[in-house]
């Protein structure tokens, strides 16, 4: 089973995921948006993506506010090479299947 967590034991489902790939496939990124996280949004240090292959960790986590009110958590996962890209895409396939999400 593939899942995402900010806090151990609390599985999260993103509201939206945008995947961006450079033409050369050397640098790519995924931008996750969580509008209704289950965890305490004030104590997030990183996001982990877990599946049968292991753990992918990302520390670029930002809280988004509008007029002082919490709106969402945004996470940017940067991939530096094709190995990281391929591993991420395998995770996303599993995560999408396990959570009945479509990948366009």
Band the pLDDT of 104: cuts 50, 70, 90. Answer: low
Task: Beginning with the edge strand found earlier in the chain, give each strand of the sheet holding 3-7 in spatial order.
Answer: 10-12, 3-7, 47-51, 54-58
Q: Is 14 exposed, middle or buried (0-12, 13-18, 19+ CB in 10 A)?
A: buried
**What are the tens digits of pLDDT across the range 17-68?**
999 988 766 789 999 999 989 988 888 889 999 999 999 999 999 988 888 8
For 9, the token pair is 């034991």
pLDDT at 75: 97
For 44, the token pair is 């997030």
What global pTM score does this model have? 0.89
Across residues 59-78, what is the average pLDDT?
92
CA distance 11 to 50: 10
For 78, the token pair is 């940067």
pLDDT at 43: 82
Using the structure block, give the residue that is written with the tokens 């969402």. 72
């Amino acid at each position: 089973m593939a899942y995402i967590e900010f806090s151990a034991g609390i599985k999260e489902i993103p509201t939206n995921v945008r995947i961006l790939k450079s033409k050369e496939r050397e640098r790519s990124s995924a931008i996750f948006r969580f509008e209704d996280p289950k965890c305490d949004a004030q104590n997030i240090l990183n996001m982990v993506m877990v599946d049968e292959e292991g753990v992918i960790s990302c520390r670029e986590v930002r809280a988004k506010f509008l007029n002082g009110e919490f709106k969402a958590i945004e996470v940017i996962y940067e991939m530096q090479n094709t190995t990281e890209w391929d591993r991420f895409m395998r995770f996303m396939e599993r995560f999408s299947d396990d959570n009945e999400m479509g990948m366009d």
